[in-house]
């Protein structure tokens, strides 16, 4: 993670997307569609209610509801991520003040297509302003394919962080059903069969538990 963040330091447009992916295990479309209204910085919660997808035919990006009913969810996040998000929110505000009318606002049109316009221009009729978290310093939203290409150069993809997040939680002893709910799955089957890879440390920990609890009766 530190090697990845060295490539995308604080202020880089991929810094916050990488942190969101690692600290939450969200799908790429989910954290790219995240708005500030979806994060409660005091309660330390994130609400997933939409995602950003690419239209394979028209090459547009659009907003849609999450993948499944269980994908719409709310969960807690850690203090380190909260601190990073607060810092980025302040950075966004400073960039807007510095750029003035050149700063870009993100909108969703009546067909749910995402687009950007300078904030000096009025909101187009039928469009809705989207206060996205994942933007560059100009206010333009981060595109999935651009992020995917940048990660590919490092031998990673956006899903790599989802796997890592799940495996780390499992290794730390998190309950599979709770992990599944955090990831937006209906049950723990996917967690057990796909995401939570059995590391050597986990195998040793299991043997130690058996020795302590069963063999020695501790």
The predicted-structure confidence for 17-29, as pLDDT tens digits, reads as follows 999 999 999 999 9
The Cα 101–Cα 99 span in angstroms is: 6
The predicted model gives 30-59 an average pLDDT of: 93
Structure tokens at 121: 């221009």
- CB 141, CB 135: distance < 8 Å: yes
The 3-class secondary structure across 18-87, one letter per residue, is: HHHHHHHCCCHHHHHCCEHHHEECCCCEEEECCEEEECCCCCCEEEECCCCHHHCEEEECCHHHHHHHHH
- CB 166, CB 192: distance < 8 Å: no
The predicted model gives 200-215 an average pLDDT of: 67
Cβ neighbours, 10 Å, residue 101? 8
The Cα 72–Cα 69 span in angstroms is: 6
Strand 104-108: give its sheet, edge to edge: 114-118, 104-108, 128-130
Stated pTM of the model: 0.87
Query: Is the predicted pLDDT of residue 32 greater than 60, yes or no?
Result: yes
The Cα 60–Cα 196 span in angstroms is: 34
Tell me which H or E stretch contains 93: helix 79-99
pLDDT band at 185 (very low <50, low <70, confident <90, very high): confident
Query: Is the predicted pLDDT of residue 196 greater than 60, yes or no?
Result: no
The predicted model gives 23-52 an average pLDDT of: 96
CA distances in angstroms from 34 to 21, 37, 198, 202, 209, listed in the order given = 12, 8, 31, 33, 40
Strand, helix or coil at 97?
helix
Residue range 62-120, pLDDT digits in tens: 999 987 777 899 999 999 999 999 999 999 999 999 999 999 999 999 999 999 999 99
What pLDDT score does 56 carry? 80
């Amino acid at each position: 993670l530190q090697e990845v963040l060295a490539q995308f330091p604080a202020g880089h447009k991929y810094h916050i997307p990488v942190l969101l992916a690692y600290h939450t295990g969200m799908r790429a479309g989910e954290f790219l569609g995240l708005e500030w209204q979806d994060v409660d910085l005091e309660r330390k919660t994130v609400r997933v209610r939409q995602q950003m997808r690419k239209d394979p035919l028209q090459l547009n990006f659009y907003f849609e509801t999450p993948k499944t009913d269980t994908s719409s969810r709310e969960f807690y996040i850690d203090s380190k991520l909260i601190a990073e998000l607060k810092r980025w929110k302040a950075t966004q505000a400073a960039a807007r003040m510095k750029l003035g009318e050149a700063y870009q606002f993100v909108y969703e049109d009546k067909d749910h297509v995402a687009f950007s316009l300078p904030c000096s221009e009025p909101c187009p009729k039928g469009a809705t302003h989207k206060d996205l978290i994942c933007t560059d310093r100009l206010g333009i939203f981060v595109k999935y394919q651009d992020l995917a290409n940048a990660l590919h150069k490092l031998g990673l993809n956006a899903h790599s962080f989802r796997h890592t997040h799940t495996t780390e939680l499992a290794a730390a002893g998190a309950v599979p059903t709770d992990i599944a709910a955090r990831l937006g799955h209906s049950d723990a089957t996917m967690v057990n069969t796909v995401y939570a890879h059995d590391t050597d440390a986990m195998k040793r920990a299991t043997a130690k538990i058996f020795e302590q609890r069963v063999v020695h009766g501790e």
